[in-house]
Amino acid sequence: MRDRARGCLLGLAIGDAMGAPAENLTAEQIAARWGTVTGFLTDRPSGTDDTEYAAFSALLLLDHGARLTSEHVADAWITHLAGQSGGFSGAGFSELGTIENLRAGLRPPASGRHLHSWSDGLAMRAAVHGVYAAGDPLLAARLATVDGAVSHDGEGVHAGVAVAAAVAVAMTGNASAAEVGAAALAAVPADSWTARSLRSALVHAGDVPALLDAVVVRSYPWTDLAPEAVALAFGAFLAAGGGFADAVTGAVSMGRDADTTAAIAGALAGALGGLDAVPARWREQIGPVTGRCLGEVVAGLHPLDLADRLADHLEDE
């Protein structure tokens, strides 16, 4: 269990850092600039808010465990995040909207109701709930919902729940990639946008043009739509058969919100395959969280250390 926890959180961080230079680019632009993606796109890879928010959510789980409530999460956001002046470098619209709501005195679920409540900001951090609730997708879904109620609503929450439930199943070590994908779909309302997008990922995995055509909302000016992001991440994961390297590079190659889609794909594949599935040359390039987005509350935390602390909970159960 410790090995899979390590694979998941390090996989998330690797995907985030690998996808960051390709964020908001199209698949065609990425191919023209880098050719076939086979690894990091820069000599100095660095994570973004995706890794930092995942670390922050992991700390909340370590503090409160399965008793975590949305009030706990809101209090932590107010204590550690809302007091920062000038916003957050690299933070998403959903997080900034949440901070504005919390500063105005709104509490969850009202704090998660803003113009970007459907973003992939919960999906990018929800893997930690699946690690904590390994083998229990219902608990993982509940914890993701509790966390997400502070910052998201509707499809933004559904997408996070899908990731958390899928990781919980992957953490068992005896699921196939297809079963992990099925767990994501089973965790969300069948008539939701997220479910429709996930079904497209199941159908079109391995056919990138068809998947992009099926799920990308090209008329929208941003790339952080949660149903789109989870579909691309699961599409890459399923096309790779759960294999780590191909899942992450495949997600990066599709572009759009590439740091988030690759982070989700990396978390899924890392949980399924464990740390040994992660190429050693990539592991060595991931260090502690810088805190450039969330500050000192997460600065210095390493994904492997957080994974070990979450795994200690699993061993104590």
Task: Name all domains of the chain by residue range, CATH numbers in brackets.
Answer: 2-316 (1.10.4080.10)
pLDDT tens for residues 139-198?
999 999 999 999 999 999 999 999 999 999 999 999 999 999 999 999 999 999 999 999
pLDDT score at 314? 74
Reply yes or no on whether the pLDDT at 200 is more than 90: yes
* Residue 87 pLDDT exceeds 60: no
Is-contact 122 53, C-beta < 8 A?
Answer: no
State the amino acid at position 244 in one-letter form: F
Q: Name the amino acid, one letter, at 190.
A: A
Residue 206 has pLDDT above 60, yes or no: yes
197-201: long-range contacts, CB 8 A cutoff, minimum separation 24: 197/227, 197/228, 197/230, 197/231, 198/162, 198/227, 198/230, 198/231, 198/234, 200/231, 200/235, 201/230, 201/231, 201/232, 201/234, 201/235, 201/238
Q: How far is CA 185 from CA 31, 194, 196, 234, 272, in A?
A: 30, 8, 9, 10, 17
Closest CA to 234 of 168, 184, 164: 184
Binning pLDDT at 50, 70 and 90, where does residue 221 land?
confident
Calpha distance 269→171 (Å, rounded) = 10
> For residue 75, what pLDDT is reported?
96
pLDDT > 70? residue 32: yes
pLDDT in tens, 49-81: 999 999 999 999 999 999 999 999 999 999 998
pLDDT computed for residue 278 by the predictor? 98
- Binned at pLDDT 50, 70 and 90, residue 93 comes out as confident
Q: What global pTM score does this model have?
A: 0.97
Average pLDDT of every residue of the chain: 95
91, two tokens: 């933070």
pLDDT tens, 269-279? Answer: 999 999 999 99
